[in-house]
Amino acid sequence: MQQARAGDLDAYAVLVRRHAQMAVRTAALLGAGAEAEDVVQEALVKAYRSLGRFRDGAAFRPWLLRIVANEAHNLHRSGVRRGARERRVGLDPSYAGQADPAMAAETAELDRRVLAAVHGLPERLRLVVTCRYLLELDEAETATVLAVPRGTVKSRLSRGLAALRRTLTDEGLQPDGAEVRHG
């Protein structure tokens, strides 16, 4: 970290490689979809330029992911890349199944429905649920990444889970992935 801050690009490359996977996941799941690569690249360049602002002793990962989250957010707002919204993970039926062609069809379907439900949440709840559960950050990291107080993270999480439960139940989806048969 110290070396990277002193302008040692090799040291920064080590940081980049260590955190690249999480950065890409964050960008993709926060909604950058197919633009995740651009978002992460931009975020990593900005992060390097901002290293001087990084507080000694703070955790690098949430700090970096916050920049990634901001970039993903900016992407949504820019009209230049219209269409990125439609390519968001949860909205593209083919996306969730891509990882492993051998994945059981029901599993892929469950994932697709769950991700679609997350993306149907109001923005504030969607971001918190995505960070805490899809990305498996802890509450403190989630608070840092989204720049909200920790108490806010807690309350949005419980509201987000409640909303998801309602949506999934209304859709007749059971926790084992089976459908409730109507009529």
Partner 1 sequence: MADLWTDERLEEVLRDAGRRAPAPVPPGLAETVLARLADEPAPAVDGRWAAVRRLADRVLEWARGRIAWLVAVLVGLVTAVVLVVSPVGATVAEWFGFHGVEVHRDDGPPPTGTPTVPPAGDDLSLAEADALVDFAPRVPAELGDPDQVTVSADRKLLSMSWGTGSETVRLDQFDGEVEPRFWKSVSDADFVMVGPHDGLWLPTPHEVALLDGDREVLLPPRLAAQTLLWFEGGVTYRLEGPFTQATAITIAESLR
Which of the residues 88 through 147 are near partner 1 (CB under 8 A)?
89, 95-96, 98-100, 103, 107, 110-111, 114-115, 118, 129-130, 133-136, 143, 147
Nearer to partner 1, 13 or 59 (CB): 13
> What is the rounded radius of gyration, in angstroms, for the C-alpha atoms of the chain?
18
Q: What's the chain's length in residues?
A: 183
Residue carrying the six token digits 């007749």 = 172
- Is residue 22 classed exposed, middle or buried when 0-12, 13-18 and 19+ CB atoms within 10 A define those classes? middle
- Is residue 183 classed exposed, middle or buried when 0-12, 13-18 and 19+ CB atoms within 10 A define those classes? exposed
> Which residues of the shown chain bind partner 1 in the complex (CB under 8 A)?
4-7, 9, 12-13, 16-17, 20-21, 24-25, 27-29, 36-37, 40-41, 44-45, 48-53, 89, 95-96, 98-100, 103, 107, 110-111, 114-115, 118, 129-130, 133-136, 143, 147-152, 154-156, 161, 164-165, 168-169, 174-175, 180
